[in-house]
């Protein structure tokens, strides 16, 4: 009987031990590093779960009595040791260190908005300047953690991918390398059953930057006017649908919504429709460590980790392109810089517009003029150097008719009724052997009359001066010329 009593007391003892177990604090998702702007969710594994919970940060009690402690936007003030207490039992310290930098990789929304309709999906883009080999992405839907396998090439530095359809009120995406020591920022996408939404930047607004809010109506862009509210109070009314906050401060933190008047494209009714969006929380984060870029293209960062090194970027359209070397900075353009290390980086610096100085510009112009003169002198030198004795035109062989010794006399250009005669005596010398004598008119008439008087075929006809008009000639016909052995007969038209 005594042994039976002890056996009956054993379950009650186990129950008491369980009730007296220390609660435990855990982080979901389990991030190896915490950066400014991260969303954190601390859980207190207390037993029983229905019991009241107290939260402590560095020994100071926090205003939260639930098992879940949410930190919407991590900041340096959130660093420290966390404890939770349940049934008089305190957990062990859970340290958190919020780094004042950005993660090494960047995750952005390629298509879609921070608030989407249920059942829709978004396309995201992951980028890492040092490569994405071995990287994958993660997603949390409520308390569930999922993995997104990326189809990567070994040399990929960016990749777009589409996630599954959105069904949970809040879905958080981020990406990591294989050991999860390097990661990207988080992207939070919410869902709504409304016909429209208040759109804002998917990341928390950075203090000092501008913030744009848009009142969107799905299916149309014909929003005539919109009113914006913060914490239930109307703050402004605008034409169309956009409201911009120029200089964001922590005073802008709150819940915002919009009222819109709109029409659909094919709507024929004059009365517009009205939309009241869901509340969206605008969060503001502290500015991360930011370097300074001087006019002399020097990137400096006194607050940066000593192991960080600078990188220079040039504006290319709407994006910033990493330069492989600082020598590229000497071309005109807009530049920014940042400091990086293996797993983190700073914010981009201020922009600097680089232009050629007047002195440098004058040097460039003078150099171009000198180069042009040098080319001209070289061209002139080679032109003069060429062989001027070389004939410009080549001699064309004479085409012979009959005997190859003589040319046929050509008719002088521009004179229809006159013919050139050979006159070797005109030069003042006596006729030499082989030269021609000028034909005498009397002899030519006699020769023609003697041989061509008959007018037979192949002979000459006598020229009749009376029948010839000015500027006209009769065709001379000749019999085959009788050629003496040592004398050439030349037919000359007159």
Would you call the peptide bond into 132 cis, given omega within 30 degrees of 0 as the criterion? no
Q: Does residue 207 or residue 365 have the better pLDDT?
A: 207
For domain 19-99, is the CATH number 3.40.50.720?
A: no
Give CA 14 to chain center in angstroms.
67
In this predicted structure, which of 166-175, 328-337, 475-484 has the lowest mean pLDDT? 475-484
pLDDT value at position 96?
Answer: 96
Q: How many C-beta atoms surround the C-beta of residue 199 within 10 A? A: 19
Q: Are 262 and 279 in contact (CB under 8 A)?
A: no
Task: Give phi and psi for 384, each to the nearest 5.
Answer: -70, -30
pLDDT digits (tens, 9 = 90+) for 37-80: 999 999 999 776 667 899 999 999 999 988 999 999 999 999 99
Break the chain into its structural domains and give their ranges.
Answer: 19-99, 101-193, 196-287, 292-354
Q: Among 177-186, 196-205, 471-480, which is the least confidently predicted range? A: 471-480
| Least confident interval from 229-238, 366-375, 461-470 | 461-470
pLDDT of 274-289, one tens digit each?
989 999 999 999 999 9
Closest among 69, 3, 5 to 40, alpha carbons compared? 69
Which residues on adjacent β-strands are paired with residue 259? 227, 276
- Please provide the CATH number assigned to the domain covering 196-287: 2.60.40.10
Distance from C-alpha of 121 to C-alpha of 29, rounded to nearest angstrom: 22
For residue 458, pLDDT over 60 is answered with no
pTM of the model as a whole:
0.68
Query: E-assigned strands of 58-186?
Result: 60-61, 68-71, 80-86, 89-90, 94-96, 98-99, 102-103, 106-111, 115-117, 123-127, 136-141, 144-148, 158-162, 170-176
Provide DSSP, 169-221.
Answer: SEEEEEEE-TTSSSBB--EEEEEESSSEEEE--SSPEETTS-EEEEEEETTB-
State the average pLDDT over residues 283-306.
93
Q: What is the per-residue pLDDT for 159?
A: 95
pLDDT at 17: 45
Burial of 284 (0-12, 13-18, 19+ CB in 10 A): buried
As a whole number, the mean pLDDT across the chain is 79
CATH 2.60.40.10 for the 101-193 domain, yes or no: yes
| Nearest residue to 470 via CA among 417, 428, 433 | 417
């Amino acid at each position: 009987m005594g042994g039976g009593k002890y056996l009956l007391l054993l379950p009650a003892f186990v129950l008491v031990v369980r009730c007296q177990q220390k609660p435990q604090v855990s982080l979901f998702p389990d991030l190896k590093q915490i950066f400014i702007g991260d969303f954190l969710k601390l859980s207190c594994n207390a037993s029983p779960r229905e019991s009241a919970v107290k939260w402590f940060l560095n020994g100071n009690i926090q205003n939260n009595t639930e098992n879940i402690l949410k930190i919407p936007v991590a900041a340096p003030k959130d660093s420290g040791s966390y404890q939770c207490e349940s049934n008089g039992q305190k957990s062990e310290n859970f340290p958190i260190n919020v780094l004042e930098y950005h993660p090494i990789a960047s995750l952005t929304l390629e298509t879609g908005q921070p608030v989407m309709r249920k059942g829709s999906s978004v396309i995201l883009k992951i980028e890492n300047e040092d490569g994405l080999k071995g990287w994958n992405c993660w997603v949390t839907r409520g308390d569930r953690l999922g993995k997104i396998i990326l189809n990567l090439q070994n040399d990929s530095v960016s990749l777009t991918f589409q996630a599954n359809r959105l069904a949970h009120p809040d879905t958080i995406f981020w990406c990591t390398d294989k050991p999860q020591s390097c990661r990207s920022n988080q992207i939070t996408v919410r869902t709504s059953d409304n016909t429209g939404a208040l759109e804002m930047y998917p990341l928390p607004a950075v203090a000092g930057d501008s913030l744009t809010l848009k009142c969107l109506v799905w299916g149309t862009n014909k929003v005539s006017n919109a009113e914006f509210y913060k914490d239930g109070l109307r703050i402004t009314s605008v034409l169309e649908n956009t409201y911009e906050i120029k200089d964001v401060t922590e005073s802008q933190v709150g819940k915002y919504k919009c009222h819109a008047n709109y029409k659909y494209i094919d709507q024929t009714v004059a009365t517009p429709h009205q939309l009241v969006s869901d509340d969206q929380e605008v969060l503001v984060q502290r500015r991360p460590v930011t370097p300074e870029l001087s006019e002399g293209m020097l990137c400096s960062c006194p607050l940066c980790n000593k192991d960080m090194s600078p990188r220079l970027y040039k504006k290319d359209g709407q994006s910033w392109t990493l330069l492989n070397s600082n020598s590229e900075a000497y071309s005109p353009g807009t530049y920014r810089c940042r400091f990086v290390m293996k797993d983190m980086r700073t914010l981009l610096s201020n922009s600097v517009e680089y232009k050629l100085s007047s002195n440098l510009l004058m040097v460039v112009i003078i150099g171009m003029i000198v180069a042009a003169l040098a080319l001209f002198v070289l061209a002139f030198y080679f032109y003069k150097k060429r062989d001027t004795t070389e004939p410009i035109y080549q001699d064309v062989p004479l085409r012979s008719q009959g005997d190859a010794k003589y040319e046929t006399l050509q008719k002088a250009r521009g004179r229809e009724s006159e013919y050139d005669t050979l006159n070797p005596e005109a030069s003042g010398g006596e006729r030499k052997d082989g030269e021609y004598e000028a034909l005498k008119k009397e002899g030519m008439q006699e020769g023609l009359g003697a041989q061509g008087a008959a007018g037979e075929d192949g002979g000459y006809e006598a020229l009749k001066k009376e029948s010839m008009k000015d500027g006209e000639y009769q065709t001379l016909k000749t019999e085959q010329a009788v050629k003496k052995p040592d004398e050439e007969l030349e037919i000359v038209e007159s």
